[in-house]
Amino acid sequence: MSLARPEILQTLPGPEDITRVELPNGIVVLVRSNFESASVTLSGYLPAGGLFDPPEKLGLAHFTALGLTRGTERHHFQQIFNLLESAGASLGFGASVYNINFGGRALAEDLPLLLSLLAECLRIPRFPQKPIERLRRQILTGIAIRDQDPADRAEMMFDEVLFPNHPFGKPTDGTRHTIARITREDLLAFHRHYFGPRGMTLVIVGAVSAEQVLEEVQRTLGDWQNPLQPAFPEIPAVAPLAQSVRSHIALPGKVQTELVMGTLGPSRLSPDFMPASLGNNILGQFGLMGRIGNVVREQEGLAYEASTSLNAWKDAGTWEVTAGVNPANLQRAIDLILAEIRRFIAEPVSWEELRDSQSHYLGRLPLSLESNAGVAHAILNLERFQLGLDYYKRYPALVESVTPEQILEVARRWLDPERFAIISAGPPME
Amino acid sequence: MDSPTLFTKLANGLTVHLKEIHTAPLISHWVWYRVGSRNEVPGKTGLSHWVEHLQFKGTPRFPPSVLDKAISREGGVWNAFTYLDWTTYYETLPADRIGLALELEADRMINSVFDPAMVEAERTVILSELEGNENEPLFQLGRAVQQASFQHHPYRNEVIGNREDLLQITLEDLVQHYRQYYVPNNALIAIAGDFRLEEMLQRVREVYESLPAGEIPPRNIPVEPSPSGEKRLEVHGPGETAYIQVAYRALPAAHPDFAVLMVIDSLLSGPASLNMFGGGGISNKTSRLYRALVEKELAVGVGGGVQATIDPFLFEITITLPPVYHPDQTLRAFDEQIVRLMETPVTSKEIQRAIKQARALFAYGSENITNQAFWLGYAEMFDHYDWFVHYLDRLSQVTPMDVQRVAQQVLTPQGRVVGFYLPEGNLPGGAP
């Protein structure tokens, strides 16, 4: 008997209520109306991420993204934010390895304003000197704060160890040295060279009709072209660690140690993804953080937070355990976690555990897809990973078809305790 | 606000608030207890938060191994929060599974197990949570400012408690606190979602009405004297980033001028929201302090907030200083904006703007059932649900003279605490 209930399935987004249109210039627009709400949420990306950063100017894509709202050919910084904030609206940009990402929200009545500003920031940013220098100082302050944060430091080194000399191993927000080197001309050149409609995806969810959205998008973005826009480069392949790497980052004055340990994981498009995802839920998410949480926090009381996560992108992924522990308990926590990993790859999970996680995955859909932001996020992922507009209709079968043996096979493929990156950051070790 | 609601009180004193919403097949169930750090005495800080943690250690009927999986299995979410005036527990579940939340919360209202070994394990967990907090410069600064802002009132204590107390609190302390405050007549059930009001009320009665009422101990809060003069303090710690935090004694949420204070917060530091769920806020780039401090290179960030509380708590502004910083200069520029608000009436247009921002945030918060259930209970912790229902109306009645009057009353330099976080890695006026 299926765990999915028909009355819930019919509330999920699917081909019958998502409108997908590809404009002649390449922009993909996806719309789902929700007239139960009073607002509209906008979300999307275009392929111009940190991947394109020169090594000596890491953080260029991120700086460019943040600089988009600092002034355009039509409005200066204060005018842009006055338009947004007076309407109770928001619009922001960021960068990941792959993309410039953007998101916004407004009352439905203000959708034209939101789309006009989005288009303006993407197409005709000016990167004016004074606001850009102020932004640089803000980015540098953020980096200084980041560099003193044990969790951030551990995560950064973890990525660096797993992805040496690879785009995934570099900080997308840059370093204090690379940010200092970036000039206004670099921002202008980055925009001129990499920003364009090809590969852009825009999702709109809320109290608006698809017709209205398409009309507004066509008006503001339909004639955008950039002949210079390059093809997306191939991501280099990654190899797993040959042996475990153990590293500690000393941060004097800190009280608690943050631990990140793990390995590469499957990409989102890999057939391993769903078995790994359900396995990860059992290992360190389900209930009070799964088996790992049960041992490290509940049984031993060593950590306030101890959990696992599976991070899956288009070309690669990671499988991580994180915990915050008192320095005196650090080695014990590491040992307990590794013992739990060994147990996890020694024998299949029980059918009961798997059934629980499958129930969880299906039961949580209404909650994750309740708000406009949740739906926009889901639809964006359908497009990003080419899962198909009918993905949520197929989802129950995908989840329920996973077996304990498949999880074991996948866990053995990815989780080798002898090849773990084990990174901690916190008080100096004695 | 057109969803049907039902408010009642059961025979055992349990308050019940229900709201019917059919936009998603979900129900969110909240239990609110009128107990928080405000109810603690010196030497026992952190007691309420610790009891909250222990509510996840099970009952005879719902042992820990069952309890932690039951909600997750159904695809629900659950959590608990402790604050100054209240402790709350919520579960949001698919609508046809909400019976689990009803049974669980009714059971642990009176049957939570306080196993000595689990209590000791949780001591380590809470100390670990405290240590995680202490890794954050702003926690260190905020704690020092909060302590300096009150002489006697328990609002001076961080909700999590201080280390010395956490090391000496006993099993008996925890059990007694639980027995005293976790009773139906000190509780409110708030449920919003995809159900019929009368049917849900019947279900609530079935599981909660038989629970025995208790005698709630009186809490004689020490009388907090009016602030006697500006206090300044410094916190030194790791890092390279300096901060200033300015805290004024605020107004209780039930005060008729609280809405005016919210407008002041919006004007100074950006659109204010008390939503717990609702996916983020609105930026503050056109706020007065952003323009006066960040745009003049005296800060790289500024934020603020006021909390809805029973007694007066704090209206606090946090300023992040740039790599090369001059704190006295920044504070002077900050004070110019405070004086401006006291001496020059704001325009009606500025107030209208704050109202539209509040209306937008209200709409965003209405988008999910969990946040609507949150508000069904939250406003009762400091006033009444009508406070929430009429909030936008009260905002729309705020006048420029109100803003000036309340600014003069609340934002006096004689009544504030100014805290500086000075990083050991970067001295004032110097390059890192």
Residues 6+ apart with CB under 8 A from B328: none
Question: What six digits make up the tokens of B27?
Answer: 């129900």
Q: List chain B residues with CB under 8 Å of A5.
A: 94, 96
Q: Is residue B56 within 8 Å of B67, Cβ to Cβ? A: yes
* Residue of A88, A137, A366 with shortest CB distance to B25: A366
Query: In angstroms, how far is CA B200 from the centroid of its own chain?
Result: 28
Residues 6+ apart with CB under 8 A from A99: A45, A46, A47, A48, A49
Can you list the residues of chain A whose pLDDT is less than 70? 1-3
Count of residues making up chain B = 432
B259, pLDDT greater than 90 = yes
pLDDT in tens, B341-393: 999 999 999 999 999 999 999 888 888 899 999 999 999 999 999 999 999 99
At what angle are helices A404-414 and A330-346 packed, to 10 degrees? 130
Beta-carbon separation of B353 and A85 below 8 A: yes
Chain B (368-387) residues lying within 8 Å, Cβ to Cβ, of chain A: 368-369
Question: What six digits make up the tokens of B174?
Answer: 């925890």
Give the pLDDT score at A12: 87
**DSSP summary character for residue A76:** B
* A33 bridge partner residues: A206
Q: List chain B residues with CB under 8 Å of A376.
A: none
Amino acid at A420: F
Question: What six digits make up the tokens of B321?
Answer: 């200083």
Q: Tell me the pLDDT band of B87, cut-offs 50, 70 and 90.
A: very high
Beta-carbon separation of A253 and B237 below 8 A: yes
Query: Which of these ranges, A272-276, B52-56, B313-317, B422-426, has the smallest mean pLDDT?
Result: B422-426
Alpha helices in A87-149 (DSSP H): 111-123, 129-147
Beta-carbon separation of A364 and B64 below 8 A: no
Q: What is the ipTM of this complex?
A: 0.91
Identify the H or E element spanning B416. Answer: strand B416-423
Q: Are strands B26-33 and A317-325 parallel, antiparallel or unpaired?
A: unpaired
Give the pLDDT score at B218: 87
Amino acid at B376: L
B1, pLDDT greater than 70 = no
CATH top class, domain A6-221: alpha beta
Count other C-beta atoms under 10 Å from residue B408's C-beta: 12
Ranges of each domain in chain A? 6-221, 245-426
d(CA A30, CA A33): 10
Beta-carbon separation of A256 and B320 below 8 A: no
d(CA B257, CA A352): 56
Question: What six digits make up the tokens of B11?
Answer: 């025979």
B279, pLDDT greater than 70 = no
From start to end of A207-297, where are the E strands? 245-250, 257-265
Residue of B48 and B217 predicted with greater confidence: B48
**Residue B10 distance to chain A (closest CA, Å):** 30
DSSP B336-389: HHHHHHHHSPPPHHHHHHHHHHHHHHHHHHTTSHHHHHHHHHHHHHHS-HHHHH
Q: List chain B residues with CB under 8 Å of A258.
A: 135
Residues 6+ apart with CB under 8 A from A148: A251, B137, B238, B239, B240, B241, B425
Beta-carbon separation of B323 and A370 below 8 A: no
Beta-carbon separation of A138 and B424 below 8 A: no
**DSSP summary character for residue B221:** P
Mean local confidence (pLDDT), B261-289: 87
Nearest to A334 by CA among A260, A265, A276: A260
d(CA B432, CA B120): 43
B103, pLDDT greater than 50 = yes
Beta-carbon separation of A38 and B363 below 8 A: yes
What is the percent of chain B where pLDDT is above 90? 85
d(CA A277, CA B384): 44
B276, pLDDT greater than 90 = no
Angle at A198 between CA A196 and CA A202, to 5 degrees: 90
Block residue for tokens 């606001």? A131
d(CA A201, CA A43): 8
Chain A (304-343) residues lying within 8 Å, Cβ to Cβ, of chain B: 304-305, 324-326
Task: Return the CATH number of the domain spanning residue range A245-426.
Answer: 3.30.830.10
Beta-carbon separation of B367 and A371 below 8 A: yes
Give the pLDDT score at B29: 98
Give the pLDDT score at B2: 72
Q: Is residue B37 within 8 Å of B82, Cβ to Cβ? A: yes
Mutation for B interface: A12, A42, A153, A256, most B CBs within 10 A: A256
Domains A6-221 and A245-426 share a fold: yes
Count other C-beta atoms under 10 Å from residue B164's C-beta: 10
**Residue A89 distance to chain B (closest CA, Å):** 6
B139, pLDDT greater than 90 = yes
Question: What six digits make up the tokens of B264?
Answer: 């002041």
Question: What six digits make up the tokens of A328?
Answer: 């005196």
How far does chain B reach from its first CA to its final CA, in angstroms?
A: 53
Chain B (91-120) residues lying within 8 Å, Cβ to Cβ, of chain A: 92-94, 96-97, 120
Block residue for tokens 């009381």? A301
Give the pLDDT score at B274: 81
Beta-carbon separation of A301 and B120 below 8 A: yes
Question: What six digits make up the tokens of A166?
Answer: 């690879």
Beta-carbon separation of A134 and B295 below 8 A: yes
Touching check for B74 and chain A: CB below 8 Å? Answer: yes
Touching check for A179 and chain B: CB below 8 Å? Answer: no
d(CA B324, CA B300): 11
Give the burial class of B370: count Cβ atoms within 10 A of its Cβ; 0-12 exposed, 13-18 middle, 19 or more buried: buried
Give the pLDDT score at A2: 64
Q: How many CB pairs under 8 A join A and B?
A: 203
d(CA B38, CA B146): 13
Evaluate the CA torsion angle A55, A59, A65, A69 in order and state its sign: negative
**DSSP summary character for residue A428:** P
Give the pLDDT score at B430: 66
Using DSSP, state whether B77 is helix, strand or coil: strand
Residues 6+ apart with CB under 8 A from A183: none
Q: Calculate the dihedral angle through the C-alpha atoms of A303, A305, A310, A313, rounding to the nearest 10 degrees.
A: -130
Using DSSP, state whether B90 is helix, strand or coil: strand
Q: If you measure CA to CA, which chain A residue comes closest to B300? A: A138
Give the pLDDT score at B432: 44
